[in-house]
Amino acid sequence: MQWNALVPELVVEDYQRSKDFYQEVFGFRLCFERPEDRFGYFELEGAQLMLLQAPGAAVCGMQRPGPKGKGIHFQLEIATLADLLARLQAADVQPETEISESWYRADAIEHGQREFFVSDPDGYLFRFCECLGERDAAVEPQASASP
């Protein structure tokens, strides 16, 4: 297994509930776990994340000041949204948004994707998307001013 350079570790309220949700609903594969630590390492189409319940280290605690997951979301590009949408419906999980088509400019190219947002049982927000390809940007990028 190749480790990603950045792997989020999400502190969850109930490891077993989250593990089941991530596997059965989101479709992640459990790579390995340490049940005694209520910890698991998961993968979905190249995306990796870790789940951890009630860590002992104070630095990881949910009582720390700050947004505790608010203001961040995780984007996962998957081959197709269809299977995930079927699993969400079977689990009676409602997406936070409708499916939309979006085009995001990167210099002179726009990257298209079908996307929607959905939350996990702890309220972590995920944007799942499937690629629609690229096209020339409708607007030319602005030139940077010289320093």
The tens-digit pLDDT sequence of the chain (147 residues) is 889 999 999 989 899 999 999 999 999 999 999 999 999 999 999 999 999 997 666 666 666 666 666 788 999 999 999 999 999 999 999 999 999 999 999 999 999 999 999 999 989 999 999 999 999 997 765 655 555
First to last CA, the chain: 44
Token pair, residue 22, equals 């991530």
Supply the pTM of this predicted model: 0.86
For domain 9-55+69-136, is the CATH number 3.40.50.12140? no
Other C-beta atoms lying within 10 Å of the C-beta of residue 129: 22
Instruction: Count Cβ neighbours within 10 Å for each residue of 74-98 and write b for 16 or more, e otherwise.
Output: eebebeebeebeeebeeeeeebeee
The contacts of residue 9 (CB under 8 Å, 6+ apart) are 49, 50, 51, 52, 60
